[in-house]
Structure 1
Amino acid sequence: MSHVNATLTPRTRLRLARLIVDQGWTCAAAAKMFMVAAKTARKWAERYRAEGIAGMADRSSRPHRSPTKTLPGVVRRIVRLRWRHRLGPVQIAGRLGVAASTVHAVLVRCRINRLSRIDRVTGEPLRRYEHDHPGSLIHVDVTKFGNIPDGGGWRYLGKQQGDKNKAATALRTGRTAKGHPNIGTAFVHTVIDDHSRTAYAEIHTDEKAATATGVLQRAVAWFADHGVTVERVLSDNGSCYRSFAWRDTCTALGITHKRTRPYRPQTNGKIERFHRTLADGWAYARFYDSTNQRNTALPGWLHFYNHHRAHSAIGGRPPVSRLTNVPGHHS
């Protein structure tokens, strides 16, 4: 593509060349008409004679040879030090005896100039993906939050008062484990659309197969109400997702089930990141004096997340903006 200040575009070059080649204008006269140098007019005329209309297109300005380009062996050593030791350009330059600017240029070219683009566990560059339309893939998972004792928990009241409230709640509900108060765990079953990041969640007391399949059925129906047809589902290797009930439910719904590679939660990274947002925005966002109060706040927060919260991964827009058939959304 021609730059914004270019005098000649491909179409204008063609007009210039045709005046010279087809109509017999001199290069000087044609150049004067188009306010360019005669040398430029001659160049486009010669290219038109040799290649025709195709010769008017832009060409890369990249040189055929780069004799001062960093050697491949040095590039490999720079990348190896970046991956294995997370070193910066100055440290790598000191070890290899090259300029820091050269190291930085190599890191930029390899797209590992920012450590946020490198997987913390493997040191490999992050490979991000996104399906091209809503419903092409949904992610499912379960995250756990400890129940809140009556009167509030330790995060806001401190450990001493929190333990007292926990003991009183366990005594009231009759739940103890080996003499210790146990007020239970909330299992939040979450579903998120890969393309739009639209989320669905339910709170349950377990993560068994019957519960997980019920959540999937209701989530698919919820997405259908928003104009989204679910085609695939991605889960980890939890027992509920390896069950026959889960397999049969996916078959009945016409959904292809995929599982992540063992010990690679990064594959399901979108929903793992959503869990962190869920914790910060809902579970630990404010003081709750009971589990029921926190549970009651979840639907309202999900509406805010889907309809109003700006999402950095989709251009600062709310997830619902990527759904094309939401009732009333375009009114």
Structure 2
Amino acid sequence: MAGEVLSMKVFAAVLAFVAGEPVNVTRVCREAGCSRKTFYKYAARARVEGTAAGRQRSRRPLSSPQAISADVENEIVKLRKDLADAGVDHGATTIQWHLGRDRRWKGRVPSVATVHRVLTRRGFVTPQPTKRPKSSWRRFEAPAPNEWWQIDATEWVTAGGVVYIFNIIDDHSRLACRSRVVVEATASQAWTTFCQAAQRWGLPAGVLSDNGLCFSGKLRGFEVKFEANLRDAGIRPITARPYHPQTTGKVERFQQTLKKWLRRQDRKRGLARDLAELQARLDEFCDYYNTRRPHQGIGRGTPISRWRAMPASTPAAEPLEHPAPRPDAQTVIIDRDGKLYVNDLAIHVGVRWAGTEAIVIVDAFYATIFAGGELVRHLKIDHSRRYQPSRQRRGGPRQPRRVTS
């Protein structure tokens, strides 16, 4: 390595050897842990350079035929800036993908690792702490287009205030089937958004969502309009388990990418003045996302190319059966120990809800508990025991009680 200095003991022996003094070269090298070849190499240099020979020279080759050219490196930097300014992905993988589709660089496209090194050398890469390895995630993917869609709603801000954006993603191809802005995220608006997506891309076999009230009333003991309409069309409504956003992770990740782009547009063009202007931006982004953006989750292809690569699934030929009505809700008071009693069951909820009025829905298999206007527990009943513990680890900070008496 350039700049490394030879051991002073060895170099002193080298200078003595060059000056004609008797030196036991073998013993000096053995004690210093260097080779005789290295000793004589520095001796030859010392005869020419004197004491300046002690500093090692750079091992960089005189020429590097495989080194990236300056024009390619400058194009990498330009692409990085242009993509970042547009508010879209601008990592090494995306930059290499765009270079590979530009005829100017045919046969000269560097590897992703080389692009990353260029970005690091030019100061565009910020070191990050070690992240959880991707191999630790349990991944799933629909086997064909339209096998199931993922739907979600997220908030956004316009010049007129807070609005909501419904987003629908095809699980197999990651195609953005529809992004639509609305004033309120209701079941009726969710169904309208779904119909607009289906009009262009066809009906899916299933729809995956979280437990938001506009998508599902499963945890609340009733069926909302959105899931009822799906069943009537032969489409399976699928809901994620509570507090597990990873199940709808593809549409959640899409919304992160969408918001990153929208924030950039807000800085460049200002906040959207109304729903129509924001909808135009959503349509612009979806066109780019589907047709011109490499998606690493599908092998760096575009969603539209993957959607067209195989036949799409279709819903069932007959309407699906609607679920039987759940039992009526019961109102109970959570005791000072954080437990409630219903249908000969004692269910632990938590002392922070002590003294609170809870709404409980219990059927043969599950219990759903609402308190303080939110879902606080949904559990599968263990019929082998009366007491249903929380299954949470003991310890941690003490939870405050809502009442003391």
TM norm structure 1 = 0.48
Structure showing the higher strand proportion among its residues: 2
Structure showing the higher helix proportion among its residues: 1
Which structure: larger Rg?
A: 2
TM norm structure 2 = 0.40
